[in-house]
Amino acid sequence: MKSPIVALKGVQKYYGDYHALRDISLEIAEGEFFSLLGPSGCGKTTLLRAIAGFESVSEGTLHLDGRDVRGVPPNRRPTNMVFQSYAIFPHLSVAENVGFGLRRRGDLNATAKRALVEDALDMVGLDGYGGRAAHALSGGQRQRVALARALILKPRVLLLDEPLSALDKKLRETMQAELRRLQRHVGITFVLVTHDQEEALIMSDRIAVMFEGRIAQVAGPQALYRRPADRRVAEFIGMMSFLPATASGTRVEVAGLGTAEVAPDQAPGGLADGAAEVGIRPELLTLVQGGESRPHTAPGTVAEVHYYGDMTYYEVAFDGVDRPVTISMKNLPGRPVLERGQAAIVGWDPRGWVVFGQS
């Protein structure tokens, strides 16, 4: 097996008394699209900057491409970074911005540098933009320029600090697909910092979820979504409803729904008898229409309706349960949208439950 291109072991970072990174051990494979995901202040940007060399680590080891880089300045590391602000020079043309890092390359003549700039612009979909003024570009175009400027130096690892956060929703979605396509094309390891769960799930091969300077879980998008390691990860990744439950062996009785058998891998902390909570994703519940047959159903009442055009999200309450569950339903032709206060039959499947012990 190839050695990881990024390897951290026991990394700690202190700012005086503040403990920003807490015992971070992590390996990132060559060619991987890896995301650091978490809420503001969790340490993800500090960790990215430590990999880049803009922050020193207080304790632990940090290897890049098999080399110990503690004390090695950023310009001597096999990395390049795309900042949240893009850091585009407004007084330079697009081509001058992209080729800025080549200025000290004495082994390249002007013709070779121009060819590299043109190739980089073509790679990010800006062919023919070289002569334009950088200050006249749109937000999406500036982001592409920043990517081209970073990629032209052929780093082994490209570090991205929330590069899409300044874009509007439509453009952000477009650039998510473009960035993933670009990463596959160039084959470089990308490490992305984001607080957007959907963005991380869409773009990443693997994701590290961070809270308060610690890594809570590292997994692929599907495993992270379907089998979160604990309740905090479950709450942070997508939507999940939590219902009180009681476990006895592999049988779990869930308030408002009923009793069913679960598999051991549905309980990240292990199955233990007694009080528990069951987490359920909105798409794993359904509102049963007339004439449908389901093996497991429970009566409820629609407490709230959120219509999104293609989807409707319902908050459905059960008698004797103080918290409603969220149910997502595709708005198909002939399927009516229910109203608040309407009685509903909820279909459920225990294979989608995640069982958490009471803390």
State how far the Cα of 63 lies from the Cα of 52, in Å rounded to an integer.
Answer: 11
State how far the Cα of 148 lies from the Cα of 153, in Å rounded to an integer.
Answer: 9
Instruction: Taking the CA atoms of 184, 100, 68 and 57 in sequence, report the sign of the dihedral they define.
Output: negative
For residue range 276-303, what is the model confidence (pLDDT) as tens digits?
999 999 999 999 987 777 889 999 999 9
State how far the Cα of 5 lies from the Cα of 262, in Å rounded to an integer.
Answer: 39
- Give the per-residue pLDDT at 153: 87
- Give the per-residue pLDDT at 359: 61
- Give the per-residue pLDDT at 264: 92
Rounded to two decimals, the pTM is 0.91
Token pair listed for 92: 């330079």
Mean pLDDT per 10-residue segment, the chain (359 residues) = 88 96 97 96 96 96 95 94 84 90 79 90 89 86 88 93 85 88 92 95 96 97 95 94 95 95 92 94 92 87 96 96 95 92 95 88
* Cβ atoms 350, 262 nearer than 8 A: yes
* Cβ atoms 215, 209 nearer than 8 A: yes
- Give the per-residue pLDDT at 237: 95
State how far the Cα of 167 lies from the Cα of 183, in Å rounded to an integer.
Answer: 19
Token pair listed for 181: 């396509």
Rg (CA), the chain: 25
> What are residue 326's DSSP bridge partners?
315
DSSP designation for 2: P
Residues 6+ apart with CB under 8 A from 341: 301, 302
Token pair listed for 174: 């477009």
For residue range 79-109, what is the model confidence (pLDDT) as tens digits?
999 988 778 888 889 999 999 888 777 677 8
